[in-house]
């Protein structure tokens, strides 16, 4: 009997839908979509406007520079997407809770995540107050929009969806991270450094960059121990 696959759907609401085209059509995402583990839909916020100019932004009350994304089109988009109890609506914000592994794991339990990407000076606060279930920041720095945060969140969450990663062992969040090496065992080079690849290269002594010998020992207990400690 075929085991039921857990599937998660991401609905991304943005004014720059094309940003997502290449990233989500490569590598693990491509495979996960083919295997029907993930369903990623990108929605153009302008499709949810009512006026002929497809206005998505306006100037802020109280004055100040920049524009603010309007509440109406976002409300219309989210309403059309019909969130239910197993849906989480997320607004990207510099004031949000910081994304970490624990949050990603928790979000992976939902059937569906609706991700709202801000732009310009941000998003009318009523989206945070009445539409979003939570506000998420990906770090203490300011980006120009929520699109890169959306890609970061989709990827961090997807790693916790069974089947997304080929081998679950590569789930570093559970096993911990360790340094890796691959062939050659010794890499001989005249090194890289200030001025070293230029005219003075001939005078340079060849350096040998070696792989730690324990990794070549075949002793799996020792290798495991080394990985724990590095
Ligand atoms: N005026 C805001 C910055 C707005 S940046 C401020 O000073 O805090 C425009 C949009 O980009 C935000 O609405 C948010 O959706 C997104 N964004 C920018 N940096 C982000 C970050 N670190 N994490 C999550 N979203 C971010």
Q: Which residues line ligand 1 (CB under 6 A)?
A: 92-94, 117-119, 121-123, 137-139, 141-143, 145-146, 149
- Residue 138 C-alpha to ligand 1 middle, in angstroms? 9
Mark whether 83 and 144 lie in a shared domain. Answer: yes
Per the structure, the count of domains in the chain is 2
Task: Say whether both 158 and 218 belong to one domain.
Answer: no
Residue 192: inside a domain: yes
- Distance from residue 116's CA to the centre of ligand 1 (Å): 11
The parts of the chain modelled with pLDDT lower than 70 are 1-4, 168-175, 194-203
Q: Which atom of ligand 1 is nearest to the CA of 95?
A: 8
What is the value of pTM for the model shown?
Answer: 0.91
DSSP-derived letter for residue 22 is: T
Give the Cβ contact number of residue 39 at 10 Å. 13
Q: What distance in Å separates the CA atoms of residue 201 and residue 199, rounded to the nearest whole number?
A: 6
Closest CA to 144 of 116, 176, 119, 164: 119
72 with 118, same domain: the answer is yes
| pLDDT at site 23 | 96
pLDDT of residue 204: 74
Together in a domain, 144 and 189: no
Q: How far is the CA of 91 from the centre of ligand 1 (A)?
A: 10
**3 part of a folded domain:** no
Look up the domain containing 123 and give its range. 8-168
Specify whether 68 is located in the same domain as 121.
Answer: yes
């Amino acid at each position: 009997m075929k085991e039921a696959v857990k599937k998660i759907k991401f609905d991304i609401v943005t004014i720059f839908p094309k940003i997502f085209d290449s990233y989500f059509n490569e590598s693990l995402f491509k495979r996960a979509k083919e295997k029907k583990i993930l369903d990623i839909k990108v929605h153009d916020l302008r499709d949810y406007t009512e006026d002929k100019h497809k206005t998505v932004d306006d100037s802020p009350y109280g004055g100040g520079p920049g524009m603010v994304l309007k509440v109406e089109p976002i409300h219309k988009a989210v309403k059309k997407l019909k969130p239910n109890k197993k849906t989480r609506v997320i607004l990207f914000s510099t004031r949000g809770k910081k994304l970490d592994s624990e949050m990603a794991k928790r979000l992976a339990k939902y059937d569906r995540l609706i991700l709202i990407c801000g732009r310009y000076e941000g998003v009318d606060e009523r989206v945070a107050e009445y539409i979003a279930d939570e506000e998420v920041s990906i770090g203490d720095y300011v980006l120009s929009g929520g699109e890169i945060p959306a890609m970061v969140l989709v990827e961090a969450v997807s790693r916790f969806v069974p089947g997304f990663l080929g081998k679950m062992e590569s789930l570093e969040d559970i096993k911990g991270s360790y340094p890796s090496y691959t062939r050659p065992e010794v890499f001989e080079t005249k090194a890289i450094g200030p001025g070293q690849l230029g005219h003075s290269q001939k005078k340079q002594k060849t350096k040998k960059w070696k792989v730690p010998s324990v990794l070549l020992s075949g002793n799996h207990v020792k290798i495991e121990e080394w990985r724990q400690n590095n």
